[in-house]
Structures are given as C-alpha cells and as structure tokens.
C-alpha cells in the first residue's frame, strides 16, 4: 500500500490537472478511490497470487491525452471540464468492459503476442509524455507557460518547487542504499514533505492551503460515498449520444494497454514465484475491478510491477495479500485524507519523473549496434515519436500497423519453399527395375517435389511463384507438400489454380500432399480448395494422401510417356522376364526353376512377419507388396513398395537371419519363392548357378544403395 498509494495519487493529479490546477484535489481523490476499488476487487476476482493492482502510468497517459483532445487543439471537441468528467467515467467503464470481454473470449494469450518493439515504444512514449508533463510542475512554471518557454526562461522557475522535487528524486534514486525496509516512493515522498516544511520556516505564507500552488490542496469530496457515486452515474446518463463516438478509440486503447501492463506483470510474477497465472481469468478480474473503480469515481488501473515485487518480497503469496493491500488503502484514505492536501506538487512531479525514467526502455539503443536490430529500433522510435508529437491514440494505431509490418517482414524473410528436389534426386517407395530406374534418372527432371512451410498468404505467395516460374515453363509435374504449412489465404489458393492451368497447357499436373486438417474449419485446406473450385472431381489440382502416393503418380506418368511397360500390368511374368535374371541361359533358368514354388496372395494377406525365421527370396510375378517396419506403440513405417518384376527378402536369403520387417500384399499378387536350402543343393551341382545369382543380387543391391545415397545427399543439402 505504501508503494501503490503515492503513485496512484500522483497519476490522478497528473490526469486531472490537465483540466486546470484547481482540479488537483479531485485528481488526488480519484487516484485514492481507484487504488481502493481496484486494489480490493481485482485480486478477489483475478485470483493471481501476490499480484497488486493499482492506477498506473498508461492509464494516466491515455486519459490525459484524451482530455487534451476534448478541450483543445486542432480538431478538438472544445468541451468544458464539466462535460469532460462524465466522458472520463464512461471511457474507463467501456475499457473495463473490453477487458472483461477479452477474458471471456480467451484472448489473454493473444495480447501477450504483441511484438515487444511495439510495446517497448508505447511504454517509452508514455514515459516521455509523463516527463514532459511533470517538468513544468518540477520547475513550478505558471499556468499557460509551455515547457520550451519555461526551459529558456529561468526567471520563471520557482526555486521552492525545484528544491522539493530535487530532494524527492535524489531520495528515490538512493533509497536502496538508505534502507530496504521502506519503499523508495515513500522515502522520496517523505523527503519532499520534509523539504516543503523546511522551506515553510523561511516562508510562513506556505502554511496556508488557499491559493497555494505548491501543494495538492483541499480534496473535493463532500457527502457520503453512495451519494457521490449516484451523482456520478447521473452525470453519465446525461451524456449526449454525439459524445459517445469520441470515447471508443481511447477506451479500446486504454483496455489493451491496461491488459498488456497486467499480463506483463503476471509473467514476471510467474518467473519469481514459479507459478502460472490464468491470463483470461485475470483479465476478467481486471475488467470487474476497473468497472468498480469507474462507478466509485476512481482511476482505472492494472497489475503493477513495483507494488507486486514489494508484496511478494515481503511474503505475500496468495490473492488475499492483494485484498489486504486494498483494505489498507481504504483505511489510509479514511484516516489520512486530510494530510494528503499538504503533499507538494513538486514531490509528486519528482516521483513521477523517476517512474518515467525507469519505464523508458533505454535498452532499445543497444539495437543500433546490430544491422538486424535497427528495424526493431526504428519501430520503437516511431511509436515514441507519434506518441509525443500526435497523441497516444494515434501511437496505438501506428503500433498495430507496425506490428502487422513486423509479422509480414518475418514471414517474407523466411523462405516458404523448404526443399525442392527432382524425381531423379528422390523417388517414391516403389522399387523400380533397372529399366524404369534408368528412365526416371533420365527423365526425372520432368517431376518436381517441393516442401512448403510457414504461412501461405499474399506476402509469401509471390516467393513461391518466383522460385518455381522457370520450372512451370519447362516441367510437367509439380508436387507440393503441405505438412508444414500453418495457414493459407485466397491469394495462395488462386496461385495454385494458376500454376495448375499453366502446367495443364503442356499436359502437366499440379499435386498437393500432406494436407493439414483438423476439427477447425480454418485448418481444413482441402475443403477450402474444394469450395473455391481449385480442386474438382476429375480435373483441377490433385490431392494425394501421402507424399509417396504423389511421387509414385508422377513416376508412373513419366514412365508411360517414355513408353516403358507399366509396372502394374496384369500378366504374370516368367523367370526370363525378370531383370534380375537377365542373360541367364535356359539351363540355368531350368535349374533355378527347380528351386522354386509359386504363391498367390489376396490383398492385405501377409507374406512374412517381422521376426519370422526364413531363408526365402521372393520374385513378384504380378501385383505388388508393401514392406512395413514395426514401431513402438503399435504403429508401422512404410519402407517400400515392391512391384511386378522386382524382388524382396534378399537379406534373409543371404544371411539366413530373421525377417526385419512385415511384408503384405497390396493387391492380388503372385510370387515365385526360392528357398536357400533348395538353392544350395542345386548350386553344389551347378556352381555357375550360385555365381550368377549372387553376382546379380550383389549388383542389384549396389544399385539400390547408390540410389539411396543420391536421395540422402539431396535431403541433407544445406
């Protein structure tokens, strides 16, 4: 309470003296009522342990700028103070309502995602505005004298105000060296009061409150609290509808700033207490508290770092410590209200100047040392300049615009195409015979595989088109993998349609795979593309369930175009048709046939299981099989698809160890089965048979390993 109350009084005085010096007392009372209402209510509803809520600098800065806009300046509403006061109440109430809505809609986490350069610039702008507003009070300048006029006219300075402010600043800055039992704000304020009453010995006229510009003066709070609240609500109901349009943007700005200030304090509190606050509940609690403060006639507030650190450091860990702080504020208001009239304006100015100094983010200047940080610095500096030269409301608009620019910059800076490979650099999991591999190695550049990542929107789609434009003019097939894509807008969908149309002119096709989808409609890209007509039944972009399916589709089209016999033929192959056994003479083939049996499998039927014992090698006469590797948790990984004309099972045939994977028929499949034991019997009688078969196996395995090396090299390129 000793930290929160003096600052609250100062913020109230700063805000209301914009209306005129005679409103300093009302401002002090508003600050005290805000500290009491927010301090009591926020912890009870927000329930963040150890958090202390009170009127804060952002609230004072926004409301001060709002008042200036209402009473003067180009385009100002030129309202009288009596018209402004009800607008302040309803602005605070509307901001409280916005905060409550933020909590209900669970956007507490989103507010924390505002870029730090924007937040830093805004809070630093608030600090600069506070300093500009308090320097005239520190110098004791007469009303109507601007800061620049006062700085260049030392004769207008009042040495009494300057001395009181200087003592306050020095004591606040050195308070930690004096004692850690009392907060720096209390030490500085007591020092300012002592300096004031020391001056009184030389100037006895300062013992009077009437017409004394150096102190707050009598607080305007007559009548019981309920009567004052009723009068305030009556004045609010008398507001004209034309005036309501003036408060929307300030209320929205105020709500966002108060929310950011609270959540920033909560994040710091979590780090100290090793706990985790509920952002959305805290925002609802702050909304209720600021609504209560508006009804009571107090300043709006937020969770503040200074009082919170003192509270936690003193042992306050639960929300009850915040409630008790609010109770102490109420007691202080009731018991010490008369003494507050004697608080020197210079002492409050010194206190706020120290707060502004600590609030200003001087660390931003370190960004100038690094080229990558200069843009972030310029964003913070831009927000500060707009806040000082225009107003905080305009700065909030600039801040949001700069946040959008930051997001677009980061998205454009990162490449959307994570990897681009041709079909002669990587292949599907379908094992090909030598003739097909040779064809794909020769013509594989007609097919392209691209992994996309990040967000596909108007800022990044041009990057996709620019990088693929040469390929769109020369290649036939492009497969885009969408597994790592987070979002997609209409511009990206339209680009896919354009790319497909350009490929289709030369008989080509655009394919998409790995389409992310979930229960949220905005993540169902396939449905989105169907709704836009980019994906159509029988034509348009093709959606593939897996990358392998897309790669296999492109390979089949390239092989067909080259006149290579399609691997999915229905005729059964004979021994002499297998590439593995090419150039074998009839005698060798006859000996090999004596080692064989024939097997037919239905779709889904297992050939072998992982861990089985066996020494057979299998030749696929018709159909195809899938080789699946078992993983933990009952899952499996697709290693390869072996089609007509190829073979599998060579590892166990060579080393006679257990099977390393499951093999199951993908379609109606016919196999030749050669067992090692029967093969050995024939090889003893015909040594040439063993030499030829093992030589062909070695050559085929070497070709597969070389192809694997090419794919790994392409995948590992950096």
- pLDDT above 60 for 576: yes
- pLDDT above 60 for 222: no
Q: What is the 3-state secondary structure (H, E, C) of 548-559?
A: HHHHHHHHHHHH
Strand 542-544 and strand 616-622: the pairing is unpaired
Q: Which of 643, 647, 644, 654 is nearest to 680 (CA)?
A: 654
Residue 167 pLDDT:
94
Residue 500 pLDDT:
92
Q: Which two tokens stand for residue 283?
A: 């925002």
The CA distance from 390 to 127, in Å, is 15
Most confident of 22-26, 246-250, 269-273, 497-501: 497-501
Q: What is the tens place of the pLDDT at every residue in 26-79? A: 888 899 999 999 999 999 999 999 999 999 988 998 898 889 888 875 555 678
Q: What is the tens place of the pLDDT at every residue in 502-547? A: 999 989 999 999 887 553 445 578 888 888 888 877 678 999 888 8
Between the two ends of the chain, the Cα-to-Cα distance in Å is 58
Averaged pLDDT, 252-257: 88
Q: Could you tell me what percent of the chain has a pLDDT over 70?
A: 91
Confidence of residue 112 (pLDDT cuts 50, 70, 90): low
Query: Do 295 and 231 touch, CB atoms closer than 8 A?
Result: no
Residue 174 or residue 341, greater confidence:
174
Confidence of residue 322 (pLDDT cuts 50, 70, 90): very high
- pLDDT above 90 for 465: no
Rounded to the nearest 10 degrees, the angle between the axes of helix 392-413 and helix 248-273 is 60
- pLDDT above 60 for 216: yes
Confidence of residue 314 (pLDDT cuts 50, 70, 90): low
Stated pTM of the model = 0.60
Confidence of residue 568 (pLDDT cuts 50, 70, 90): very low
Averaged pLDDT, 276-298: 92
Residue 567 pLDDT:
47
The CA distance from 339 to 215, in Å, is 11
Query: What value does the mean pLDDT of the chain take?
Result: 84
Q: What is the tens place of the pLDDT at every residue in 332-377? A: 888 877 777 788 888 888 888 888 888 888 888 988 888 878 888 8
Query: What sign has the CA pseudo-torsion 457, 462, 466, 469?
Result: positive
Residue 75 pLDDT:
54
Confidence of residue 261 (pLDDT cuts 50, 70, 90): confident
- List C-alpha distances in Å: 86 to 29, 35, 114, 289, 632: 16, 20, 31, 19, 67
Q: Which of 44-48, 272-276, 612-616, 655-659 has the lowest mean pLDDT?
A: 272-276
Confidence of residue 705 (pLDDT cuts 50, 70, 90): confident
- pLDDT above 80 for 266: yes
Strand 417-422 and strand 447-456: the pairing is antiparallel
Averaged pLDDT, 271-279: 81
Residue 6 pLDDT:
81
Residue 173 or residue 516, greater confidence:
173
The CA distance from 658 to 524, in Å, is 43
The CA distance from 702 to 489, in Å, is 46
Residue 223 pLDDT:
44
Q: What is the tens place of the pLDDT at every residue in 390-441? A: 876 677 678 778 777 777 777 677 788 888 989 888 888 888 877 888 899 8
Map out the domains of the chain with their CATH numbers.
Answer: 4-360 (no CATH), 416-561 (3.30.750.24), 575-715 (2.60.120.10)
Q: Report angle CA 341, 344, 350 to the nearest 5 degrees.
A: 140
- pLDDT above 60 for 289: yes
Confidence of residue 224 (pLDDT cuts 50, 70, 90): very low
Residue 489 pLDDT:
87
DSSP summary character for residue 607: E
Q: Which of 41-45, 200-204, 446-450 has the lowest mean pLDDT?
A: 200-204
Query: Do 140 and 157 touch, CB atoms closer than 8 A?
Result: yes
Q: Report angle CA 106, 108, 111 to the nearest 5 degrees.
A: 130
- pLDDT above 90 for 96: yes
Q: Could you tell me what percent of the chain has a pLDDT over 90?
A: 28
């Amino acid at each position: 309470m000793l930290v929160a109350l003096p600052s609250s009084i100062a913020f109230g005085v700063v805000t209301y003296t914009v209306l005129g010096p005679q409103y300093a007392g009302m401002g002090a009372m508003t600050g005290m009522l805000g500290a009491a209402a927010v301090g009591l209510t926020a912890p009870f509803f927000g329930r963040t342990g150890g958090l202390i809520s009170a009127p804060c600098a952002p609230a004072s800065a926004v409301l001060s700028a709002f008042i200036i806009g209402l009473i003067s300046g180009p385009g100002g509403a030129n309202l009288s103070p009596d018209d402004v006061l009800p607008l302040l109440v309803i602005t605070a109430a509307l901001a409280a309502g916005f905060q409550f809505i933020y909590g209900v809609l669970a956007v507490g986490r989103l507010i924390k995602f505002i870029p730090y350069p924007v937040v830093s610039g805004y809070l630093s702008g608030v600090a600069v505005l506070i300093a500009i507003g308090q320097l005239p009070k520190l110098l004791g300048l007469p009303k109507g004298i601007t800061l620049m006029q006062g700085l260049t006219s030392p004769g207008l300075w009042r040495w009494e105000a300057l001395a009181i402010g200087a003592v306050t600043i020095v004591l606040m800055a050195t308070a930690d060296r004096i004692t850690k039992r009392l907060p720096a704000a209390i030490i500085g304020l007591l020092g300012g009061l002592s300096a004031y009453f020391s001056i009184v010995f030389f100037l006895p006229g300062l013992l009077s409150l009437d017409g004394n510009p150096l102190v707050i003066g009598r607080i305007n709070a007559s009548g019981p609290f309920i009567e004052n609240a009723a009068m305030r609500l009556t004045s609010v109901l008398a507001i004209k509808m034309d005036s309501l349009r003036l408060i929307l943007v300030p209320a929205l700005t105020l709500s966002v700033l108060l929310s950011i200030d609270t959540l920033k304090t909560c994040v710091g509190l979590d780090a100290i207490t090793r706990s985790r606050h509920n952002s959305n509940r805290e925002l609802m609690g702050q909304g209720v508290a600021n609504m209560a403060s508006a009804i009571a006639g107090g300043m709006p507030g937020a969770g503040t770092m200074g009082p919170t650190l003192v509270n936690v450091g003193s042992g306050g860990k639960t929300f009850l410590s915040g409630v008790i702080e609010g109770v102490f504020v109420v007691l202080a208001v009731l018991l010490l209200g008369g003494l507050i009239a004697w608080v020197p304006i210079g002492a409050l100015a010194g206190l706020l100047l120290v707060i502004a100094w600590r609030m200003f983010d001087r660390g931003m200047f370190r960004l100038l040392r690094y080229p990558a940080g200069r843009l972030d610095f310029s964003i913070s500096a831009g927000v500060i300049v707009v806040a000082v030269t225009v107003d905080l409301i305009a700065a909030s608009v600039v801040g949001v615009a700069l946040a959008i620019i930051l997001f677009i910059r980061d998205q454009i800076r990162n490449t959307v195409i994570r990897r681009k490979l041709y079909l002669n650099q990587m292949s599907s999991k379908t094992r090909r015979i030598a003739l097909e591999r040779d064809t794909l190695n020769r013509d594989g550049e007609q097919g392209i595989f691209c992994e996309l990542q990040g967000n596909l929107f108007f800022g990044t789609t041009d990057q996709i088109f620019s990088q693929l434009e040469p390929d769109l003019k020369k290649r036939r097939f492009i497969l885009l993998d969408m597994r790592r894509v987070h979002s997609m807008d209409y511009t990206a969908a339209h680009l896919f349609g354009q790319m497909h149309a350009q490929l289709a002119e030369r008989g080509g096709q655009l394919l998409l795979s790995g389409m992310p989808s979930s229960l949220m409609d905005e993540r169902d890209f396939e449905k989105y593309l169907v709704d836009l007509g980019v994906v159509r039944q029988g034509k348009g972009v093709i959606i593939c369930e897996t990358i392998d399916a897309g790669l296999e589709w492109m390979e089949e089209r390239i092989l067909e175009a080259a006149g290579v016999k399609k691997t999915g033929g229905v005729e059964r192959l004979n021994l002499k048709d297998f590439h593995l056994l090419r150039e074998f003479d009839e005698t060798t083939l006859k000996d090999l046939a004596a080692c064989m049996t024939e097997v037919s499998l239905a779709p889904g039927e297992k050939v072998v299981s992982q861990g089985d014992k066996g020494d057979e090698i299998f030749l696929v006469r018709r159909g195809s099989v899938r080789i699946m590797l078992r993983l933990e948790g009952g899952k499996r990984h697709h290693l390869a698809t072996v089609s007509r004309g190829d073979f599998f099972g060579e590892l166990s045939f060579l080393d006679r160890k257990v099977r390393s994977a499951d093999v199951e028929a993908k379609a109606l499949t016919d196999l030749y089965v050669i067992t090692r034991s029967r093969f050995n019997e024939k090889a003893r009688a015909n040594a040439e048979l063993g030499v030829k078969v093992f030589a062909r196996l070695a050559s085929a395995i070497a070709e597969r390993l070389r192809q694997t090396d090419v794919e790994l090299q392409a995948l590992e390129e950096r």
